[in-house]
Structure 1
């Protein structure tokens, strides 16, 4: 968050603690957590109605815990069970902590009173809406074995005419990298088509 001084920044952390050390959240949290705030309407006025703002808060979380027992359920039943891993209690506590921390910033003291529309997504809703394994937007995983050059390449090892692009393949996740990957795969695909046409004309 943007604050005017180091003291204000420290205060934004302290607001989450009873005495500056212990969290006001449940025992599931072991300390204050960072979160990312994006104010889209600051640079794109069309992101919110006139006189309003659009703010997105991204809170890091665990992925969904796989449960093989759900494999025999219908998709909707299984997704419902997975969504229970992020229940109302934990969502309410995280929401409260985020708003409390934001409220110490000048101009945001009563931010909760001005919320007119709110959507809360979790790994459970990501798994539902986007068919993401474990509900993670980083696709396969986000450990060291899935970073940079260790991610799968764009070319299938088994099928010559199958190529991959997206968060699970090189160069990686995030819009800029996925677009670079798309450009690279498109160029490879065009070359394959050109080579195929050349071979066909010689046959």
Structure 2
């Protein structure tokens, strides 16, 4: 489920000002509802994502505090739609901040969605999968074309692999 902040613009302005809005936009997903193997029998799992700034924009941010605020925002939003008992059923919890994304996955500036979403960095204008000068240097991931998020990052990996195989004259089957 995607929950948009009532004050959508104000919410993103707060992020640009280095603050988490009181009622931020957020995304909640229950993947075991689509694939039961993703949780132990009789259990479920939830993924909650709240947008925050990156390490470059907010190098001195108290990420523990931001994490706690984001966590509470998720619980409050779920309670507002009648799912108020999630907290008491948690058996395992993993929370990531930009610091943990950088440390665990070496994500530039701890930014899970790569480059900024400015007009000059969207869609086809994102960096492409082959370096313009170093012709044997290829790129894949959220900061390259076609864009952000796991599905499109995987598409970028496939496109880079297909390009390399094509340039090497290899069969793509």
TM-score above 0.5: yes
1:120 maps to which of 95, 117, 120: 95
Assess, with a 3 A threshold, how the Cα gap between structure 1 residues 170 and 119 changes in structure 2: closer, same or farther.
Answer: same
Shift of 1:61: 0.6
Shift of 1:30: 4.5
Partner in structure 2 of residue 129 of structure 1: 104
Partner in structure 2 of residue 46 of structure 1: 37
Higher relative contact order (CA 8 A, sep 6+): 1
Partner in structure 2 of residue 170 of structure 1: 145
For 1:93 and 1:183, locate their aligned partners in 2 and report how far apart those are by CA, in whole Å. 37
Is 2:164 the counterpart of 1:185? no
Partner in structure 1 of residue 115 of structure 2: 140
* Structure 1 portions without partners, runs of 5+: 3-8, 14-27, 68-81, 196-203
TM-score (ref. length: structure 1) = 0.67
Partner in structure 1 of residue 64 of structure 2: 88
For 1:96 and 1:31, locate their aligned partners in 2 and report how far apart those are by CA, in whole Å. 10
* Structure 2 portions without partners, runs of 5+: 7-18
Is 2:89 the counterpart of 1:98? no
Contact 2:128-2:144 at 8 Å conserved across structures: yes
The structure whose Rg is larger is 1
Is 2:35 the counterpart of 1:57? no
Contact 1:64-1:134 at 8 Å conserved across structures: yes
Number of residue equivalences:
157
TM-score (ref. length: structure 2) = 0.77
Greater share of residues in helix:
1
